[in-house]
Structure 1
């Protein structure tokens, strides 16, 4: 197999909510004549869209499907320690997400719920590396501000009471460079105007709590085929106090290589913000990775080789490539799976 980082072509497709203009601009796609409903670009994906026949899986053209390449050489792609723990799964899915409207209130299952009900070892905890917001900051809604019983969630879903659901969530103002972690089970939403690099466990498991006004059949498609009687068991009923919320956010920092996400995200995934300059190169340790170049031009080096990179480029990087070196005036996000030595997380439904 090749030890080289492989370019990732845009992997966009229609969704039920608006957005995608900033993805098109960043990734060099032609402008649309009407509002887009292509708000996500799935990067380095071995995951298919829920209920689809392979939509979303990364196709590298002549090189083949990424899932097939990893299956053929898992240790070269992922590393021996990684494969000993997670097999041929990268344990990671990365997306660009450009919200042209507020996303509905929803939640994702934990690993325990997914194992019991969906025959999958991964849930869908996720994190957001914020790359653009409206002027003055954007808004994300994370966790309930008071305890909400399962029956109350059920009534809100049945009534599609959007104001009440949003009123139960805590709004957080975020800015470019911030990172936010959303544990499985946490009800949440993303406001219009947010542009993020999203890291998540490698699934497409979503439980819709709100769908009124969106182009989706919530009663049919909002519960992962489980029915809401079962699906609502995945939604947290506890409240997030200020201390708990603070642990979910890492504010933007300085430096040529800095972690983007809070420490509580590390059992799930990691991300580095790279800011190389013409005077200072930046090196990232060997790992399977997804790289998104946000701005500038420079070079990406590995194993004695290098290639030019620029704004809008994206790459999937095999572990066998070794260290990555960024040179030139270039900024990027490097998304990584968890360190195989990291302990498993203890999720909320394991503490009940």
Structure 2
């Protein structure tokens, strides 16, 4: 098997943005509000049958190919069932501040949403306007009843005032554990790697979404139950953040994410500098950030350049990325869902 060069998979969404994705991928957006591309995705938008699924270049869907040959693509059937690759990667370009929201953890998702996956996620910042910031976690403990009142009143100011504000620049990495309240600010372009689900509980939704969609069919009490209300201490917040500039040098592949991400997914920086990078066998999603090169495996090579996306099957075996190229390789966790 060889890596597969994938066509774009842009999604229309409720928030503005997407110009940075268009610039990177070199393909016009399908709609003026297309701020996300779901990359090598076998995950659908919540409640929908096919939206979000990545097409293959010759027709058909990546999910169907994985379901037909799980050994070749992922090394076996993963816990999510046929077509599961264990990870979802997005290009996300926020043209406005996203709503304050939270993602359920695996225990909540299993008991309330019928899924073995929650939605821990991480952001690798590719670009950010001066002064860009994200909000992540509570500065102090909040009372669940007070939070429920703020959600019902759409009091985003109450929520944002109680959250940590974190300035971000290109190369910053932020891990968002499931259950942690957060919001990405305007003018931030990221590669987002996450568990393969579309579970978002919008604690503010007016102007973004209807109430039924906002709470995944749950009520306000359910949304609050999925939300951690304990403070995120500054030391713990610092442990969720790193800085790995795309031009970093050193032993490659270069780890991008904090260790707390290991039970959920992995991401590594490949390149730059022109040296060949050896990559072990395993399913992976490669997003080429700059330059050009060749992904070489036993069955041959695939030329890549800035903006390209590759789905790398387990059956390709160990492979190399060669050339003057910088890319991010995202993978499912080797630890599975335990």
CA distance in structure 2 between the aligned counterparts of 1:192 and 1:71, rounded to whole angstroms: 37
**Aligned twin of 1:333:** 328
CA distance in structure 1 between the aligned counterparts of 2:11 and 2:41, rounded to whole angstroms: 13
Work out whether 1:22 is the aligned partner of 2:13: no
Correspondences of 1:207-246 after superposition (within 5 Å): 207-212=201-206, 214-217=207-210, 219-246=211-238
Shift of 1:138: 2.9
**Aligned twin of 2:35:** 39
CA distance in structure 2 between the aligned counterparts of 1:216 and 1:85, rounded to whole angstroms: 30
Shift of 1:296: 0.7
CA distance in structure 2 between the aligned counterparts of 1:246 and 1:29, rounded to whole angstroms: 37
**Aligned twin of 1:285:** 280
CA distance in structure 2 between the aligned counterparts of 1:123 and 1:117, rounded to whole angstroms: 11
Distance 1:225 1:85, change over 3 A: closer
Shift of 1:269: 0.2
| SS of aligned partner of 1:62 | coil
Residue among 49, 58, 64 paired with 1:68: 64
CA distance in structure 1 between the aligned counterparts of 2:301 and 2:32, rounded to whole angstroms: 35
CA distance in structure 2 between the aligned counterparts of 1:343 and 1:56, rounded to whole angstroms: 22
Correspondences of 1:152-301 after superposition (within 5 Å): 152-212=146-206, 214-217=207-210, 219-252=211-244, 254-255=248-249, 256-278=252-274, 280-301=275-296
Distance 1:86 1:222, change over 3 A: closer
Q: Is the 8 A contact 2:152 2:220 kept in 1?
A: no
Q: Which runs of 4+ in 1 moved over 4 A?
A: 84-88
| Residue range with higher mean Cα deviation, 288-297 or 126-135 | 126-135
| Residue range with higher mean Cα deviation, 53-62 or 154-163 | 53-62
Shift of 1:87: 5.2
| SS of aligned partner of 1:196 | strand
CA distance in structure 1 between the aligned counterparts of 2:15 and 2:62, rounded to whole angstroms: 27
Work out whether 1:321 is the aligned partner of 2:308: no
Alpha-carbon RMSD? 1.8
**Aligned twin of 2:92:** 97
Shift of 1:343: 7.9
Shift of 1:18: 0.3
| SS of aligned partner of 1:276 | coil
Q: Which runs of 5 or more structure 1 residues have no equivalent in the other structure?
A: 345-352
| Residue range with higher mean Cα deviation, 20-29 or 52-61 | 52-61
CA distance in structure 1 between the aligned counterparts of 2:79 and 2:203, rounded to whole angstroms: 34
Shift of 1:301: 0.9
Work out whether 1:57 is the aligned partner of 2:50: no
CA distance in structure 2 between the aligned counterparts of 1:224 and 1:205, rounded to whole angstroms: 7
Shift of 1:158: 1.0
Q: Deviations over 1:95-127 (max 9, x none)?
A: 000000010100000000000001110001111
Distance 1:227 1:273, change over 3 A: same
Q: TM-score, normalised by structure 2?
A: 0.93
